[in-house]
Amino acid sequence: SALYASLFQDDISVDVYNNLIKAVDENLDTLNRYVDIKKKFLGLEDIHMYDLYVPLTESFDMKIPYEEAQEIVLNALKPLGEEYLGLIKRAFEENWIDVYENEGKQGGAYSWGSYDSHPYILMNYKDDLNSLFTLIHELGHSMHSYYSKKTQPYLYSGYKIFVAEVASTLNELLLINYLLEKADSKEERVYLLNYYLEQFRTTVYRQTMFAEFEKLTHASVEDGNPLTAKEFNDIYYDLNKKYYGNSTVVDEQIALEWARIPHFYSNFYVYKYATGFSAASALSQKILTEGKVAVDKYIEFLKSGGSDYPLNQLKSAGVDMEKKESVDKALEVFKELVDKLEKEY
């Protein structure tokens, strides 16, 4: 099958793909419960897809200057140990980061570098929560690259996309954990919870829905059915109904959304966002509960670069993505955050 052929290059079994879809399908009630809570917060009778992007706190905003962000990052990443923190400090002190917007500078953010240099980060820091998350995210990529390049020969120093978002997401999870612990007003907690639940929804639920769309469309062709825009529309609309139907008004226009997702030109790519997030979620829980033992394994993972297949690397780090429970556990984190948001209403 097209799916088998695509996963083969990373030595990923079709089970991993199917388990992800199955686990998410079994947890759609939590997604709909989350949307229902949003509806209550926003005071709406009906909620539509476009309402999901509206913030829940009207006047609350967080202003986080870069100096403060550095301090927060260092505190949030404490669970990763002194050595990791030392590298983050070097990144700050030795100017690995091009921080602010500038005339002619590219937008967005990324981490880059060469085999024999330290990593470099380009970002456009804007004193807000989103920038803080971007900073800690890119630092995750940088540390992964730093450890891999220091440890591996040139040939194996690059890591695969399947594991690429683990280190960055894990940092984000430690950050949200830290910020929620410190938050001292209801508005701040709601603001943080909403921010992170949206990240979760768009990374795990939404990307898995995309993955299911790809699975269904390819399977349809393999069954000998031609695909036209009408078939794409129907499959996509039905999926939206299945995912959001118990809480959201699924407008007919959403049927066309598949046409604006550029990732569909790279077949079976988007599921890696959801599995990466799930793996990071499981590993961050381990780091927070088991401490040093889990941290040591995790640092070994960062050092392993592209020297083994992704599933083996993650297994050594402590998470088996061939087991459905690994995704279930991540979805439990989502459920806990939804519970917290519900309590704030």
Active site members: 138
* Cβ-closest position to Zn ion: 168
Per rule CB under 5 A, is residue 168 in the interface with Zn ion? yes
**Considering the complex, what minimum distance in angstroms separates the CB of residue 296 from Zn ion?**
24
Stretch that binds Zn ion, among 22-30, 37-45, 95-103, 160-168 (CB under 5 A): 160-168
Stretch that binds Zn ion, among 49-57, 121-129, 164-172, 216-224 (CB under 5 A): 164-172
Q: How many residues bind Zn ion (CB under 5 A)?
A: 1
Outline where the chain has alpha helix (H). 2-8, 14-26, 28-42, 66-76, 82-93, 129-151, 161-164, 166-182, 186-200, 206-222, 229-244, 271-290, 292-303, 310-317, 324-344
340: CB partners within 8 A, 6+ apart: 180, 189, 193
Residue 268 or 277 with smaller CB distance to Zn ion: 277
**Considering the complex, what minimum distance in angstroms separates the CB of residue 168 from Zn ion?**
4
**Considering the complex, what minimum distance in angstroms separates the CB of residue 137 from Zn ion?**
6
Burial 193-227 (b: 16+ CB within 10 A, else e): bbbbbbbbbebbbbbbbbbbbbbebbeeeeeeeee
Residue 37 or 136 with smaller CB distance to Zn ion: 136
**Considering the complex, what minimum distance in angstroms separates the CB of residue 166 from Zn ion?**
10
> Helix, strand or coil for residue 111?
strand
Q: How far apart are the first and last CA of the chain?
A: 47
Stretch that binds Zn ion, among 61-69, 119-127, 162-170, 172-180 (CB under 5 A): 162-170
Per rule CB under 5 A, is residue 203 in the interface with Zn ion? no
Q: Are 320 and 283 in contact (CB under 8 A)?
A: no
Residue 168 or 194 with smaller CB distance to Zn ion: 168
- The secondary structure element, H or E, covering residue 115 is none
d(CA 116, CA 32): 48
Specify the residue for token string 């519970």: 339
Per rule CB under 5 A, is residue 326 in the interface with Zn ion? no
Q: Which of residues 224-283 bind Zn ion (CB under 5 A)?
A: none
Write out the two tokens for 245. 């139907």
Beta bridge partners of 122: 98, 110
**Considering the complex, what minimum distance in angstroms separates the CB of residue 141 from Zn ion?**
6
Residue 172 or 243 with smaller CB distance to Zn ion: 172
Residue 34 or 195 with smaller CB distance to Zn ion: 195
Stretch that binds Zn ion, among 73-81, 151-159, 166-174, 195-203 (CB under 5 A): 166-174
Per rule CB under 5 A, is residue 284 in the interface with Zn ion? no
Residues at the site binding Zn ion, with contacts judged by CB under 5 A: 168
